[in-house]
Amino acid sequence: MLSIKNLHASIEGTPILRGINLEIKAGEVHAIMGPNGSGKSTLASVLAGREEYEVTEGAVLFQGKDLLEMAPEERAREGVFLAFQYPVEIPGVSSTNFLRTAVNQVREHRGLEALDAVKFLSLMKEKMKLVEIDQKLLSRALNEGFSGGEKKRNEIFQMAMLEPKLSILDETDSGLDIDALKVVSNGVNQLKSAENATIVVTHYQRLLDYIVPDYVHVLYKGQIVKSGTKDLALELEEKGYDWIKEEVESKAIV
């Protein structure tokens, strides 16, 4: 589904991603871990199409199409979804209007007819249950004044509404209380299918107890320096990143 080959990206001339290789197949869950500042959010942003980043080398294919050629909205319509690490507050834009516009533009792209107000509302009701999000929250302006946890929940709600093929969850667990973590993970799991794939960026093994990954990758200084199964996450939880950093540095010397 997603094939990243030797991806290099920089921001304002500073290289951040320095040769990422990653293959993701439909049905899979990949976890990406790594120390602060290693480039996890950068990778997520580059995949979603943030224009501040300049891709200097490499290629990304999504369902056989050149992802890097597409505008952010095209990527979303093709089925890429990024749950932001820091969702943006947008005063004055109503959550409902925004979502209806988004859902219908995505549907149009997929050759489906636009949802009228009634159908849209019933879809909203259905998905709201999934992530147990409060109606009151959605009657407010988009993310405006939402608590950290409410914002994260709203991201997963939007994901449920847009039915993406590839979901990238950037630290969706941070800021969630334990109950919310279960609810949100449960939502993500219910949306999982053999046709779609998920990338979870996280610092904590705990999330991976709920959303069980097929693969775990460690990103360090803009490269994937280690990959393994979910046991790797347990090992990281126990030992931290120093041993990996040492491994990388010693290889670099040789």
Positions touching other proteins (CB under 8 A) are 48-52, 71-73, 75-77, 82, 84, 87-88, 90-93, 97-99, 101-103, 105-106, 109, 141, 158, 162
Alpha helices in 33-134 (DSSP H): 40-48, 72-78, 95-109, 117-131
CB 130 within 8 A of CB 93: no
List Cα–Cα distances, 22 to 30, 82, 89, in angstroms: 10, 17, 32
CA-based torsion, 59, 2, 200, 159: positive or negative: positive
List Cα–Cα distances, 240 to 204, 236, 251, in angstroms: 11, 5, 19
> Least separation, in Å, of the C-beta of 180 and Mg ion?
20
Please report whether residue 16 would count as binding ligand ATP according to CB under 6 A. Answer: yes
CA-based torsion, 197, 4, 238, 149: positive or negative: negative
Measure the CA angle with vertex 65, ends 81 and 12; round to 5°: 65
Nearer to other proteins, 120 or 204 (CB): 120
**Contact stretch for ligand ATP (CB under 6 A) within 18-26, 40-48, 113-121, 124-132:** 40-48
> Least separation, in Å, of the C-beta of 105 and other proteins?
5
Please report whether residue 38 would count as binding ligand ATP according to CB under 6 A. Answer: yes
List Cα–Cα distances, 159 to 121, 174, 240, in angstroms: 16, 17, 31
Please report whether residue 167 would count as binding ligand ATP according to CB under 6 A. Answer: no
Please report whether residue 11 would count as binding ligand ATP according to CB under 6 A. Answer: yes
> Least separation, in Å, of the C-beta of 130 and other proteins?
18
- Using CB under 6 A, which residues numbered 18 to 37 contact ligand ATP? 34, 36-37
The partner in contact with residue 14, picked from Mg ion, other proteins, ligand ATP, none with C-beta cut-offs of 5 to 8 angstroms by kind, is ligand ATP
Nearer to Mg ion, 40 or 152 (CB): 40
Could you tell me which residues are beta bridge partners of residue 29?
198
CA-based torsion, 245, 251, 252, 254: positive or negative: positive
The partner in contact with residue 72, picked from ligand ATP, Mg ion, other proteins, none with C-beta cut-offs of 5 to 8 angstroms by kind, is other proteins
> Least separation, in Å, of the C-beta of 219 and ligand ATP?
7
Please report whether residue 12 would count as binding ligand ATP according to CB under 6 A. Answer: yes
> Least separation, in Å, of the C-beta of 72 and other proteins?
4
> Least separation, in Å, of the C-beta of 14 and ligand ATP?
4
Nearest by Cα to 89 from 47, 166, 146 = 146
Q: Give the tokens for residue 188.
A: 């993500």
Nearer to other proteins, 90 or 121 (CB): 90
* Residue 92: CB atoms within 10 Å: 7
Q: Interface residues with ligand ATP (CB under 6 A)?
A: 11-12, 14, 16, 34, 36-42, 85
